[in-house]
Amino acid sequence: MSADCIFCKITRGEIPSKKIFEDEDVIVFHDIHPIAPVHFLIVPKLHIDSLASTDQSHQALLGKMLLLAPKLAADQGLKGFRTMINTGREGGQEVFHIHVHVFGGGTTLPKT
């Protein structure tokens, strides 16, 4: 974990979140600036800066994160949803701790 990372602080319970799931590998919580009626983040507890920083050793963790998306989306009442991973500043990443956005709801989704 990183001492300065906001997602690491959420994982450690130092910053509150609207948590919807947690296990030994990941924490999932609602985005504080949602772009859709339902918008949550799947965040690994292991601090990894971005998708570009992953390697073969992260394969199971990345797979777990993606497999959680449809289950948790359904639990949140979504029949369809979008996933997004921003990578690097040029890719729109604002928090440099890898995370998967899952969002949907309503009849339209925001343009990305």
Long-range contacts of 74-80 (CB under 8 A, 24+ apart): 75/20, 76/20, 76/38, 76/40, 77/38, 77/105, 78/38, 78/104, 78/105, 80/104
Question: Is-catalytic flag, 99?
Answer: yes
Q: Which of 30, 33, 47, 99 is catalytic?
A: 99
C-alpha distance across the termini of the chain, in Å = 30
List residues bridging with 29 in a β-sheet: 19, 41
- Residues designated catalytic: 99
